[in-house]
Amino acid sequence: MSGFEDLNKLNSHLASRSYIEGYAPTQRDATIFNQLPNYIDASRFPHVARWFNHILSFRPHLRESWPGEVTKPAEKKEVKKEEPKKPESKKEEAKKEQPKKPEPKKPEPKKEQPKAAPKKSRKGRRGRR
């Protein structure tokens, strides 16, 4: 990892720095960034995680234009995902193999009939009897 064999050394180096070398990003930042796994544990390596997220905020074509000697970056290490657990018993297997029952159909809401026109008020006729 170009002088940083483990994340502990890189974390202590970045404790007081924003970049690997100097006050601006360089190809060395891009190279080390490309060698790191996709996930950095921020609770164990807070400075590496901060730096990693900062470098990640630059688009790849911008990282390529940073000053410094371009070195062939190694492929990023992928963090292995745990395989799904196998069922513990035959009952669990049977449950998984059974197709789900279709949900009962919900009755459709009744369509409202258009309301009749309101009747005319007789208020004006009360006094004329």
Please give the pLDDT value at position 80. 47
> Domain locations in the chain?
7-64
Please give the pLDDT value at position 111. 67
Amino acid at 46: P
pLDDT at 6 over 70: yes
Contact 20, 32 (CB under 8 A): yes
- The alpha-helical segments, DSSP class H, found in 60-117 are 60-64, 90-97
Please give the pLDDT value at position 96. 60
Question: What is the spatial distance between Cα 41 and Cα 49, in angstroms, rounded to a whole number?
Answer: 7
Q: How do residues 42-76 score in pLDDT, each as one tens digit?
A: 999 999 999 999 999 999 989 888 888 776 644 54
Report the chain's mean pLDDT, rounded to a whole number: 75
Higher local confidence (pLDDT), 18 or 118: 18
Write out the two tokens for 71: 């070195």
pLDDT at 14 over 50: yes
Question: What is the spatial distance between Cα 44 and Cα 8, in angstroms, rounded to a whole number?
Answer: 9
Higher local confidence (pLDDT), 88 or 107: 107
